[in-house]
């Protein structure tokens, strides 16, 4: 023990490192693992809570996963449409000339005016 009541033989834990080695404990939600599946932390907690609810079947979990897939597909379509529109605008922009004739800014002006 040192003068403050702490053992000198115990190594200090590095900041940002967890105390779990290997497999995560049951119910543990990693900070990045949920993003791989598209679920929010709240949605994951709800899904895990279904395990404790009597009468929950795997088909209920599957239905939620299918709904998440549909949600992801819709987001992809929206992002693809945005990308297509922005690509058209950047193709019209020759990167020179007055800002007042910039097709990207003109498009943004139209959006704000609506």
The structural domain count of the chain equals 1
Identify the residue with better confidence: 9 or 113.
113
Which H/E stretch holds residue 52? none
The answer to whether residue 72 sits within a structural domain is: yes
Split at pLDDT 50, 70, 90, the class of 7 is: very low
Alpha helices, DSSP H only, in the chain? Answer: 33-37, 41-50, 58-92, 103-113
The answer to whether residue 102 sits within a structural domain is: no
Q: Is 70 exposed, middle or buried (0-12, 13-18, 19+ CB in 10 A)?
A: exposed
Identify the residue with better confidence: 22 or 62.
62
**Residue 46 domain boundaries:** 33-92
The answer to whether residue 5 sits within a structural domain is: no
| Tens digits of residue pLDDT in 48-64 | 999 999 999 999 999 99
Q: What is the predicted pLDDT for the residue at 34? A: 59
Q: Which residues of 45-57 are buried (b: 16+ CB within 10 A; e: fewer)?
A: eebeeeeeeeeee
Please check the confidence at residue 33 and state whether its pLDDT lies above 90.
no
Q: What is the predicted pLDDT for the residue at 20? A: 43
The answer to whether residue 78 sits within a structural domain is: yes
């Amino acid at each position: 023990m040192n003068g403050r009541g702490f053992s000198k033989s115990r190594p200090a834990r590095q900041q940002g490192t967890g105390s779990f080695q290997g497999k995560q404990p049951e119910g543990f939600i990693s900070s990045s693992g949920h993003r791989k599946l598209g679920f929010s932390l709240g949605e994951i907690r709800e899904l895990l809570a279904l395990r404790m609810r009597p009468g929950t079947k795997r088909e209920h979990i599957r239905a939620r996963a299918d709904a998440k897939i549909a949600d992801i597909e819709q987001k992809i379509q929206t992002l693809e449409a945005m990308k297509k529109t922005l690509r058209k605008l950047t193709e019209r922009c020759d990167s020179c000339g007055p800002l007042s004739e910039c097709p990207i800014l003109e498009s943004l002006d139209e959006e704000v005016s609506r």
